[in-house]
A and B are shown apart, each in its own frame.
Chain A
Amino acid sequence: MTLFSQLLPLIFSANFLSTVVRVSTPLVLCAMAACIGKQCNVQTITYEGMMLFSALAGTLGTSYTNSLIGGIIIGILASILIALIYGYFNIYLDTYDTLLGIAMNNFVNYFTIFLLFVLIGRKADSSTIVSYNYPTINIPIIKDIPVIGTIFSGQSLVTYFAILSVFVAHFIIYKSTLGLRIRSVGRNPEAASSLGIDVRKTRMISFVISGFFAGLAGEFMSMSYISFFTKNMVSGRGFIGIAASNLALGKPLLALLYALMFAVSQVVANQLQMLQFTYQFANMLPYVVTIIGLCITGSAEMRKEKMGGKSKDKKEKAEKPKAES
Chain B
Amino acid sequence: MAKKKGQVTTTQIEQQFTIIRAVLAIVISILFCFLLIFISSDKPMTDIVTFMIAPLTSASRFAQLLIKMSPLLFTALAVCVLFSANTANLAVEGAFYMAAFASASISVLENFLPAPFHFIVAALVGCLGAIIVLLIPAILELKFNANIVVCSLMMNYILTSLGNYLITGPMRDQGYSKEATKVIASSAKLPIIFNAGGQKVHLGIVIGIVCCVIAWFIIYKTNFGYEARTVGQNPEFARFSGINVGKVIVLGSLIAAIFCGLGATSEINGYYRRMEWDNPTGYGWDGIMIAILAGNNPLLVIPGAAFLAYIRTSADVLNMTSNIPTEIVNVVQQVVIVMIAAKGLLSKSMNKAIVANAKRNAEIQAEAEKKGEDAPKEVQA
Q: Is the CB of A287 within 8 A of B335?
A: no
Q: Which of B204-252 contact A (CB under 8 A)?
A: 240-241
Q: Which of A281-325 contact B (CB under 8 A)?
A: 281, 283-284, 287-288, 290-291, 294-299, 301-302, 316-317, 320, 324
Task: Flag whether B325 is at the interface (Cβ < 8 A).
Answer: yes
Chain A residues, Cβ within 8 Å of B150: 45, 239, 242-243, 290, 294
Chain B residues, Cβ within 8 Å of A242: 150
Q: Which of A250-287 contact B (CB under 8 A)?
A: 278, 280-281, 283-284, 287
Task: Flag whether A141 is at the interface (Cβ < 8 A).
Answer: no
Q: What separation, in Å, do the CA atoms of A302 and B147 have in the docked complex? A: 12
Task: Flag whether B46 is at the interface (Cβ < 8 A).
Answer: no
Determine which of B147, B169, B325 lies in contact with A298 in the assembled complex, contact meaning CB atoms within 8 Å.
Answer: B147
Number of residues on chain B facing chain A (CB within 8 A): 47
0/1 interface trace, chain B 263-301, chain A, CB 8 Å (1 if under)? 000000000000000000000010010001000000000
Chain A residues, Cβ within 8 Å of B325: 113-114, 117-118, 123
Task: Flag whether A5 is at the interface (Cβ < 8 A).
Answer: no
Q: Is the CB of A283 within 8 A of B345?
A: no
- Shortest Cβ gap from A325 to chain B (Å): 13
Q: Is the CB of B331 within 8 A of A98?
A: no
Q: Which residue of B lies closest to A85 (CB)?
A: B338
0/1 interface trace, chain B 145-183, chain A, CB 8 Å (1 if under)? 111011101110110011011001100000000000000
Q: Is the CB of A281 within 8 A of B341?
A: no
Q: What separation, in Å, do the CA atoms of A102 and B285 have in the docked complex? A: 9
Task: Flag whether A154 is at the interface (Cβ < 8 A).
Answer: no
Q: Is the CB of B334 within 8 A of A294?
A: no
Task: Flag whether B328 is at the interface (Cβ < 8 A).
Answer: yes
Determine which of A92, A93, A294 lies in contact with B146 in the assembled complex, contact meaning CB atoms within 8 Å.
Answer: A294
Task: Flag whether B347 is at the interface (Cβ < 8 A).
Answer: yes
Q: What separation, in Å, do the CA atoms of A88 and B330 have in the docked complex? A: 22
Q: Which residue of B lies closest to A117 (CB)?
A: B325
Chain A residues, Cβ within 8 Å of B164: 280
Given contacts A99-B337, A102-B337, contact A281 B343 (CB under 8 A): no
Chain A residues, Cβ within 8 Å of B39: 118
Q: Is the CB of B146 within 8 A of A320?
A: no
Q: Which residue of A lies closest to B39 (CB)?
A: A118
Q: What separation, in Å, do the CA atoms of A200 and B216 have in the docked complex? A: 39
Task: Flag whether B192 is at the interface (Cβ < 8 A).
Answer: no
- Shortest Cβ gap from B305 to chain A (Å): 18
- Shortest Cβ gap from A308 to chain B (Å): 15
Q: What separation, in Å, do the CA atoms of A239 and B330 have in the docked complex? A: 21
Chain A residues, Cβ within 8 Å of B141: 298
Q: Is the CB of B347 within 8 A of A278?
A: no
Task: Flag whether A246 is at the interface (Cβ < 8 A).
Answer: yes
Chain A residues, Cβ within 8 Å of B331: 107, 110-111, 114
Chain B residues, Cβ within 8 Å of A123: 325, 327
Chain A residues, Cβ within 8 Å of B330: 106, 109-110
Determine which of B88, B143, B162, B338 lies in contact with A104 in the assembled complex, contact meaning CB atoms within 8 Å.
Answer: B338
Task: Flag whether A149 is at the interface (Cβ < 8 A).
Answer: no
Given contacts A100-B341, A103-B341, A298-B147, contact A290 B154 (CB under 8 A): yes
0/1 interface trace, chain A 114-142, chain B, CB 8 Å (1 if under)? 10011000010000000000000000000
Task: Flag whether A96 is at the interface (Cβ < 8 A).
Answer: yes
Q: Is the CB of B337 within 8 A of A103?
A: yes
Q: What separation, in Å, do the CA atoms of A95 and B164 have in the docked complex? A: 35
Q: Which residue of B lies closest to A289 (CB)?
A: B154
Chain B residues, Cβ within 8 Å of A283: 161
0/1 interface trace, chain A 180-217, chain B, CB 8 Å (1 if under)? 00000000000000000000000000000000000000
Q: Is the CB of A102 within 8 A of B288?
A: yes
Chain B residues, Cβ within 8 Å of A113: 325, 327
Between A103, A113, A239, A301, the greatest number of chain B beta carbons within 10 A of the residue's beta carbon is seen for A103
Task: Flag whether B36 is at the interface (Cβ < 8 A).
Answer: yes
Chain A residues, Cβ within 8 Å of B165: 278, 280-281
Task: Flag whether B40 is at the interface (Cβ < 8 A).
Answer: yes
Chain A residues, Cβ within 8 Å of B342: 89, 93-95
Task: Flag whether A177 is at the interface (Cβ < 8 A).
Answer: no
Given contacts A95-B342, A284-B162, contact A301 B145 (CB under 8 A): yes
Determine which of B154, B334, B338 lies in contact with A239 in the assembled complex, contact meaning CB atoms within 8 Å.
Answer: B154
Q: Is the CB of B149 within 8 A of A117?
A: no
Q: Is the CB of B140 within 8 A of A295?
A: yes
Q: Is the CB of B154 within 8 A of A299?
A: no
Task: Flag whether B333 is at the interface (Cβ < 8 A).
Answer: yes
0/1 interface trace, chain B 309-333, chain A, CB 8 Å (1 if under)? 0000000000000000101101101
Q: Which of B39-95 contact A (CB under 8 A)?
A: 39-40, 88, 90
Given contacts A93-B342, A106-B330, contact A284 B158 (CB under 8 A): yes
Complex A-B, nearest 6 residue pairs according to Cβ-Cβ distance, in ascending order? A93-B344, A298-B145, A107-B334, A280-B165, A110-B330, A295-B144
Binding site for A on B (CB under 8 A): 36, 39-40, 88, 90, 140-141, 143-147, 149-151, 153-155, 157-158, 161-162, 164-165, 168-169, 240-241, 285, 288, 292, 325, 327-328, 330-331, 333-335, 337-338, 341-345, 347
Binding site for B on A (CB under 8 A): 45, 89, 92-96, 98-104, 106-107, 109-111, 113-114, 117-118, 123, 235-236, 239, 242-243, 246, 278, 280-281, 283-284, 287-288, 290-291, 294-299, 301-302, 316-317, 320, 324
